[in-house]
């Protein structure tokens, strides 16, 4: 009887070891599901350019632009440059960081914000994972508008873009999407933030929901500078 008990215990132990080894093998051999988490590099260009420079062929998908502009052609962009070289980074905790080459021109700060999943979207007959984000950076005034007597007058407000990404798990190192930057001009001529009455919040508050439509012909505040389509690639480790 004792031998039978020892044999049964040995069999149980053997099955346990085999089971653990099997789990370890599965854990090592099952590839992780691709996600957009990581650092990206690419270029955004206006969906509808003002014609200062020709758009390079194959760089702007009008199918993505129509998703951004409710199925129709986007209004002409008022963005001050015809391309934006950018580096967005998506962190696992939902934080998004972003910088772009325009900061070399106007010295705006890097963007910080949040990203989240937003279901599925079909582009040109293909299904993509949709992700949406927004982030903010501090925006300076144009140099002629800065009062040299008041250095803080350089501070105009913040820019908060709508940033939408389309991700294909079968092609996880390339992502496309669009960006719609909204300028919140929130300071007076001295660079002091205008406030809501009896409130700790700015009169032009960048924390609310972004407008549904981006229309650069409307001189509203916040003001949308236009819709730009982008293609970005994942920054490699080596």
| Average pLDDT across the chain, whole number | 89
Percent of the chain with pLDDT over 70: 88
pLDDT at 28: 58
Tens digits of residue pLDDT in 13-24: 334 433 434 435
51 pLDDT tier (thresholds 50, 70, 90): confident
Percent of the chain at pLDDT above 90?
Answer: 79
pLDDT over threshold 90, residue 11: no
Domain boundaries, the chain: 1-30, 34-234
The per-residue pLDDT for range 81-108, each reduced to its tens digit, is 889 999 999 999 999 999 999 999 899 9
pLDDT in tens, 128-162: 999 999 999 999 999 999 999 999 999 999 999 99
Q: What is the 3-state secondary structure (H, E, C) of the chain?
A: CHHHHHHHHHHHHHHHHHHHHHHHHHHHHCCCCCCCCEEEEEEEEECCCCCCCCCCCCCCCHHHHHHHCCCCCCCCCCCCCCCEEEEEEECCCCEEEEEECCHHHHCCCCEEEEEEEEEEEEECCEEEEEEEEEEEEEEECCHHHCCCCCHHHHEEEEEEEEEEEEECCCCCCEEEEEEEEEEEECECCCCCECECCCCCCECCCCCCCCCCCCCCCCCCCCEECCCEEEEEEECCCC
């Amino acid at each position: 009887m004792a031998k039978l008990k020892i044999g049964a215990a040995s069999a149980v132990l053997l099955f346990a070891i085999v089971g653990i080894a099997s789990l370890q093998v599965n854990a090592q051999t099952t590839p992780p599901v691709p996600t957009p988490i990581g650092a990206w590099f690419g270029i955004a260009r206006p969906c509808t350019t003002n014609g200062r420079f020709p758009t390079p062929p194959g760089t702007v998908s009008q199918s993505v632009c129509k998703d951004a502009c409710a199925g129709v052609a986007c209004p002409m962009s008022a963005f001050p440059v015809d391309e934006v070289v950018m580096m967005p980074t998506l962190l696992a905790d939902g934080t998004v960081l972003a910088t772009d080459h325009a900061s070399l021109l106007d010295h705006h700060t890097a963007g910080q914000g949040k990203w989240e999943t937003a279901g599925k979207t079909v582009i040109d007959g293909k299904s993509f994972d949709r992700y949406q984000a927004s982030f903010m950076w501090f925006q300076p005034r144009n140099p002629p508008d800065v009062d040299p007597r008041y250095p803080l007058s350089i501070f105009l407000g913040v820019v908060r873009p709508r940033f939408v990404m389309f991700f294909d798990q079968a092609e996880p190192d390339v992502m496309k999407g669009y960006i719609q930057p909204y300028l919140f001009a929130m300071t007076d001529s001295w660079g002091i933030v205008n406030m809501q009455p009896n409130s700790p919040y700015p009169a032009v508050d960048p924390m609310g929901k972004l407008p549904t439509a981006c229309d650069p012909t409307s001189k509203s505040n916040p003001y949308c500078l236009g819709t730009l389509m982008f293609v970005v690639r994942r920054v490699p480790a080596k």
